[in-house]
Structure 1
Amino acid sequence: MALAVVRDLRPEFRLETSEEVAAFEQDLLAEFVLARASAGVLDDTIRGDIGPVLGLREWFGRPLWEMEAHDLDRYFGRHRRDSASGTKVRQAAAFAVFFEFLELRHKAGIHAATGFVVESPLDEMNRPRGGTSARLRIPPPEAEVTALFGGWRCDMEEARKYAPAARNYTASRLASLIGPRISELCLLRIGDVRWDLGRFGKVLLKGKGSQGRGKKERLVPLINGSRDLLEWWVTGPRWEFDDKVNDPRAPLFPSERRYGDGSSRAVTDDALRTGLAEAVARHLPHQVGQLTPHVLRHFAASDLYRNGMDVVAIQEILGHEWLSTTMIYVHVEKSHVEDAWIRAGQRATARFGGTRR
């Protein structure tokens, strides 16, 4: 039997410089997006997959085809150790899809160009466990939230301590309108309300940081009635605490506790949680133990979505790193299944006549 010499007729492909590597990575990412789109995957889902992949690349500092299992061990075991289990599960799913794409389409090419053999670093030993269903928080209907704040507003006039009651009301109502975290409410200063920015004014929120990166700041427009609420608060009840309303460094939501110079300290999250819990017990007793400041944040997202705001804009308002997290917040307001059922019924009626029962 004779032996034949087989030569690869494909042009030789080598990545020699960092610029060539970066360009190739960008091409791979663009092809990945196109492939997912051609498979019928929704744009929001594709964006939800790309975000974690880009975050992993930034953390790793090298092309992802060089990543091994022990690298992903460090990512989930150290860098993302304190992240919620649902977040890690969703990130792992995005990584699995991306590495499957690399293996199926570019394993040979990447090996020829770089000497690395692509293999998914995700395995049964380091794959995050746990589902995301526990993270689904269903806020009360709009009518119940309206009843809660309507009754709470009436209660303030007869409250033994009017100023703290008005403060707790305003902070919780703001959470239900534009969704700041309770920690962000406690950090707000008078100067963080920028009345002159944009069409409605904006508020500077200092969001939670992660992995030692400090607080992340974002400007949120005072939409959905939030400007009227804050104007009422700043020009009225806020003066009950001290005369620092015009001091940009003074807390927007003060505590009854004071510093030595007589100025007020910032409110604590415990005070705001207690105020909301007491109001819920009076006006929505069936929601006791369930309606928390964080659930009001979910309500804000659902309310904005229901009123026509797109998910990407809501992600920016809430300060979410991943679009997939925002999708959980607005999930309860999605009605595409019901809408599809109605459309199907209408088509059947039009085709066959009569009334669908």
Structure 2
Amino acid sequence: MEPADADLYFGKVLRHSPSGTRLGRSQALSTYFVFLELRHKVEIHRMTGRVVECPIDEMNRPRGAKDDQLRIPPSEPEIGTLFTSWGGELATCRKFAPTARNYTAAKLMSQVGLRVSEACGLDLGDIEWDLGRFGKLHVRHGKGARGSGERMVPLINGADRTLRWFIEDVWGQFDDDHTRPGAPLFPS
């Protein structure tokens, strides 16, 4: 993609689009090219003979106040340190049940890749212990309107043990009835 391509795209294709759309698209392209330059510049040059360069320059950059945001996920050791420290604090925390609930929800999201809204929408009945080798979660409230809908998520990476501990040892400390249909997995 060259600066002339960006001129064509922002000048003709997105000409009548809202300014927020133009700004968002330009920032997405800029972020993508920053990622390519940081992580894959040498490999791309070796394979294609071309140097990675962002096509969004001063002339075709839409006006806006937001900065590019490159998100770098934490490493496995950092995640391990987080949950080890957090798990250690469970023994001395002031309110055990809510802290254990938050710990379990975060660990479950880390282990199986759920979004926050998906984890919040889970019910006790959504856990299918007998499906697959480890059991599965029935995620009924997926991402967005056109994104993923219902799906079955395997309880991998020790998520089955995390959930069993939470349900057997912690869930009963919340004032909720486990026999009630639609009882939330993570009650408030």
TM-score by length of 1: 0.35
Following TM superposition, by how much is the alpha carbon of 1:148 offset from its aligned partner in structure 2, in angstroms? Answer: 1.9
* C-alpha distance in 2 between matches for 1:241 and 1:146: 28
**Superposition pairs for residues 125-204 of structure 1, below 5 Å?**
134-139=69-74, 141-204=75-138
Equivalent position of 1:237 in the other structure: 170
Identity over the aligned pairs, expressed in percent? 44
Shift of 1:160: 1.3
Task: Pick closer, same or farther for the CA change 1:88–1:145 going to 2, 3 Å.
Answer: closer
Whether the 8 Å CA contact 1:234–1:245 is kept in 2: the answer is no
Gaps of at least 5 residues in structure 1 are 1-68, 91-126, 256-357
* Within-5 A mapping of 1:1-357: 81=21, 85=25, 89=29, 134-139=69-74, 141-205=75-139, 206-210=141-145, 213=146, 216-255=149-188
Matches of 1:227 and 1:88, distance apart in 2: 37
Cα gap change, 1:85/1:175 in structure 2, threshold over 3 Å: closer, same or farther? farther
Q: Helix, strand or coil for the counterpart of 1:220?
A: strand
Counterparts of 1:193 and 1:128, CA distance in 2:
48
The structure with the largest helix share of the pair is 1
Confirm or deny: 8 A CA contact 1:193 1:204 kept in the other structure: yes
Residues 134 and 160 of structure 2 are in contact (CA less than 8 Å); yes or no, is this contact kept in structure 1?
Answer: yes
Write the distance in 2 (CA, Å) between the matches of 1:254 and 1:86. 41
AA in 2 matched with 1:219: M
Q: How many residues align?
A: 145
- TM-score of the two chains, using structure 2 as the length reference: 0.62
Give the number of the structure whose alpha-carbon radius of gyration is greater. 1
8 Å CA contact retained: 1:190, 1:246 = no
Paired letter, 1:223:
I
Verify the 8 A CA contact 2:142 2:150 in the aligned structure 1.
yes
Specify whether residues 85 and 245 from structure 1 end up closer, same or farther in structure 2 by C-alpha distance, changes over 3 A only: farther
Unmatched runs of 5 consecutive residues or more in structure 2:
1-11, 31-59
CA gap of 1:88–1:143, structure 2 versus 1, over 3 A, is: closer
